[in-house]
Structure 1
Amino acid sequence: MTSHVTRARPVPAPAPGGRVRVGGVDLDPVTQAEAVERVADGLAAGRGGHIVTPNADICRMAAADPALGRLVASADLVVADGMPLVWASRLLGVPLPERVTGADLLWALCGLAARRGWPVYLLGGPPGAPQQAARALVRTYPGLRVCGAHAPSYGFDTGREGREAVRRKVVTARPRLVFVGLGFPRQDHLIAELRRDLPRAWFLGCGAAIGFAAGAVPRAPRWMRRAGLEWAFRLSAEPGRLARRYLVDDLPFVARLLGRCLATRLLHG
C-alpha cells in the first residue's frame, strides 16, 4: 500500500521588521497618516530618520544594484510611492494599506511642522522652485517656518567642494525636516551625508515633489493618481525626458513583477 504525504506549499517569507517585500524591496505597511505619526514621534523624542518612497523605477534599480538595495533598506521608513507596488502586494496576499507618495508627504509633513513649530528646509528642484514651493506651503500653512530653500546647480554633488557648500548651507540652517528633491539615488546618498551632522532631523527623499509644490512641474489629476496612471500623465508632459525610463525600463519590470506575483498567488491558492 502506497502512502501519500501532503506537503505544505511554501509561502513567501515575511520581510524583517514587519515590512512587506515587494519587487525585491522591503516596504513598511503604513498609511500616510501613520507615516506622519512616526515622524512626529521621532522628532518629539529627538530622533532623526530617513524616508525613502520607492516606485517601480527605484525598485528596478535596487534589484539590479545590491548597493542601492542596501541604501533603500537602511532607511527608517520605506513607503510605496508606486501603485504597481500596492497591486503586487495585494496579489501576494500581504496588502499595503495605500500608496504613500513623496509629493503628498511633503505637504502632510509641512502641516505637521507648522503645528509643532519645527523648521523645514527645501533642497532641490528646478531653479527657483524651492522658493516658489516655500511660498505656496506658507500660504497653506501660515505658521510654517522655512529656514532654507535652495536649488543646487546641476552636478554640484560630483565634487567635494560642491557637496560641502550644500552641506554647510543645510547644517547652518538647523532644520528639523529636510526635503531633498534630487532624484534617487543622488538625494539619498546626500541624505546619508547630511544625517551625520543633523542626527535629530528627518529627511525625505522626495524626487519631483518640490517642483510639484512650486507649480513648476505639473502633477496628474487626483483620479489618475488613484488609478495608477500618474506615470502616463508625466510621460505626456515630459516625453523627451521620461519615455525611455517609463516605456523601455519600467513597464517591462512592472509586467514581470505583477506576473510573478500573480503566479505566486495562483500557486499558493
Structure 2
Amino acid sequence: MRTLAWQHNWKTIIGKLRVVGDAHDEQGLIDALSGGEGACVLGFVNAHAMNLVAGNADYYDSLSSADVLLRDGSGMAILLRRLGLAPGLNMNGTDFIPKLLAAFKGRRVAFWGTQEPFLANAVRHCQAHYRVNVVSSHPGFSPIDTYVALARETQPELVVLGMGMPKQEAVAARLAASGVPCLIVCGGAILDFLGGKVSRAPQWVRRLGCEWVFRLLSEPRRLFMRYVVGNPLFLLRTLICRERGAMT
C-alpha cells in the first residue's frame, strides 16, 4: 500500500526518538548533553509536533536535523505503544530543561524567546536558582539572523529557545549550521513557565497525563486549535499508521 508523505515523515521522526528508560538513563543523557563538544540540537516531540511534521515540510526538515529528539506527552506514548514500541519516560521539556540548567551551573547560558517582563523574570529566576551565567537574553520575535549574530557575539555554552514551534526549530537548525559550539534546546513555553507567565498543572493532573487539559483551560483561545482540533487529528493519524503498518 502506498505510503503518504506524512507517514514517511512520521516514520523518520519516530526512528530518531531517543527513548529514555529510567532515571539512570536520564542522568546519563544529562551528562552527555552537558559535557559534549560542538553544536548539538535537542528537540522535544509531542502530538502538536507530529501534526506539524505531517503538513509543514520546512518544520520537518528542521526537526529531523536535530541531534537528540525526546518523547513528550501522553499522545506520543499512545502512538509508540500502538506501534509496539516502548515509550520510556515522559521527557517533557518543562521538567527536563531545569535539570539541564542545573547541570550548567556557573556556565554561559543564553535565553532567547518569550517577551518582557517574563524573559527578565526567567533570567533572574535561573541565575538565582540554578546559578547559571546568563550572557544573553532576547525576545523571541526577531529574524533568525539576529540569533546567529548573538551566538557568535556572546559564545554561550547552552542556548534555551522559547519561541514555540515551528520557529524555534528553524532557529536551532541555523545556529547548529553556523558552527557555534553549544547545546541548543528547543524549549517551547519553558521561558514562560520560568518567567511566571503561565503556571504548571497540579502534580496529580500531571501524573494522569492531563496537563494539556489544564493548559487548554488556562489559555483556551491560543491553544484551541492545538488541542481541540489537533489532538483528534493526531489520534486519527495514529490509527491509520497502525492499521496500515506504515511505521514498520
Q: 1:251 to 1:167 in 2, by over 3 A?
A: same
Is this contact kept in 2: 1:231–1:246, CA < 8 A?
Answer: yes
**2:134 equivalent to 1:146:** yes
Aligned-residue offset at 1:263: 4.8
- Percent identical across equivalent pairs? 25
* CA displacement 1:11-36 (0-9 Å, x = unmatched): xxxxxxxxx95986742112585456
CA contact (8 A) 2:155 2:180 kept: no
Q: What residue identity is the alignment partner of 2:81?
A: R
Paired position in structure 1 for 2:4: none
Match of 2:71 among 55, 63, 80: 80
How big is each residue's C-alpha offset from its partner over 1:147-195, in whole Å with a ceiling of 9 and x where there is no partner?
122214x4x22xxxxx433332332121111000111110111112222
Q: Secondary structure at the match of 1:30?
A: coil
Contact 2:152 2:180 (C-alpha < 8 Å) held by counterparts:
no
Encode CA deviations 1:119-163: one digit per residue, 9 max, x unaligned: 11111013222221122223322x3212122214x4x22xxxxx4
- Give the structure-2-normalised TM-score: 0.83
Return the letter of the residue paired with 1:235.
Answer: L
Contact 1:178–1:201 (Cα < 8 Å) also in 2: yes
2:222 counterpart letter in structure 1: R
Which region of structure 1 is more displaced relative to structure 2, 33-42 or 89-98? Answer: 33-42
Taking the aligned partners of 1:54 and 1:188, their CA distance within structure 2 comes to: 11
Alignment of 1:137-176 (within 5 A): 137-141=126-130, 143-152=131-140, 154=141, 156-157=142-143, 163-176=144-157
TM-score (norm 1): 0.77
Q: Does 1:30 align with 2:20?
A: yes
Q: Please state if 1:252 is matched with 2:232.
A: yes
1:48-104 per-position Cα deviation (integer Å, ceiling 9, x unaligned): 210110111110110123442232221100111121101221232211211111212
Partner of 1:228: 209
Q: 1:247 to 1:225 in 2, by over 3 A?
A: same
**CA 69–111 in structure 1, closer or farther in 2 if over 3 Å, else same:** same
Aligned pair partner of 1:129 in 107, 115, 118 = 118
Deviation at 1:202, TM superposition (A): 0.7
Matched residue pairs, number? 236
The equivalent position to 1:209 in structure 2, one of 184, 190, 197, is 190
CA distance in structure 2 between the aligned counterparts of 1:217 and 1:208, rounded to whole angstroms:
9
- Is 1:185 matched with 2:174? no
Coordinate RMSD, CA, aligned = 2.7
Quick check: which has more Rg, 1 or 2?
Answer: 1
Name the CA distance, whole Å, in 1 between partners of 2:156 and 2:30.
14
Taking a change above 3 Å as real, the CA distance of residues 80 and 178 of structure 1, as seen in their structure-2 partners, is same
1:49-128 to 2 correspondences below 5 Å: 49-114=40-105, 117-128=106-117
Using a 3 Å threshold, how does the CA distance of structure 1 residues 49 and 31 change in structure 2: closer, same or farther? farther
2:39·2:183 contact (CA, 8 Å) conserved in 1? Answer: yes
Task: Please list every run of 5 or more consecutive structure 2 residues that lacks an aligned counterpart in the other structure.
Answer: 1-9
CA gap of 1:191–1:92, structure 2 versus 1, over 3 A, is: same
Instruction: Report SS of the residue matched to 1:53.
Output: strand
